[in-house]
Amino acid sequence: MKPLRAFLLLLLFCFVNNLNAQESEDYIEFNDRNNTVHGVYLGLSFNYGTIDKAETYSSSFKIAYVANRQFEVGFVGTWLYSDQNKLGLDAQNRDLTGGYAGLHLEPILFSKSKVNLSFPVLIGGGAVIFVEDDFDHDEEVILDDDDWKHVFVVEPGINILYNINRYIQLEAGIKYRLSSKVKLDPEYDLTRINGISGGMGIKIGVFNMGRNRYKKKLRDDI
């Protein structure tokens, strides 16, 4: 009987010691699955750059899905205005304006840090047109549909992302616009809207909707 009693006492000691070890943890894990984080957001950015050495301003609107804080996929639309001051046949100064939109892809590095590094790229198309920059504001400006010229655009870049919280993110970076040839009037020497630009933006949404509901921290008084 003594060996059996010693064995039972040892078993009881191991059981109590195991309970104490579990109680020392600061959380309870209900399952051991890997938690995947999802997110969606709306973004707005403003950029300054050049087209054919002329000052160019642009703004972009973006809506995207974020997969596990490591990759974004979505849609982006961009409007631009370039102070070309091209002299046309009608002796009027002209500026370039237009827009393009398309698929947004953005791999993200260091996604678990407060500051991230990303490499966005836009693949899409749009149209541009020359407009008078010294017209009479009392006159109605009519843009003929035939004057709009279609263009294909690929725009890679590099961004630094700063996560304020799980709802707001700031971005700053540079990008380079690569376009197909634009068939403008023969009097204009501009054939592409290639150009570099830099700017800042803000993203508002929910970047980590997939918090682990099966992992709960214990209060100090429990």
Query: Which ranges of the chain have pLDDT less than 50?
Result: 3-4, 7-8, 11, 15-16, 18-33, 91, 136-138, 218, 222
Domain layout of the chain by residue ranges: 33-217
Residue 144, both tokens: 């003929």
Q: 86-107, pLDDT tens digit by residue?
A: 655 554 577 889 999 999 999 9
**Prediction pTM value:** 0.74
Exposed e or buried b per residue across 92-104, where buried means at least 16 C-beta atoms within 10 angstroms of its C-beta:
ebbbbbbbbbbeb
The span from the CA of 48 to the CA of 35, in Å, is 39
Q: How far is CA 141 from CA 91, 144, 198, 214, in A?
A: 17, 10, 31, 61
CATH number of 33-217: 2.40.160.20
Q: Are 110 and 116 in contact (CB under 8 A)?
A: yes
Q: What integer pLDDT is reported at residue 21 of this predicted model? A: 44
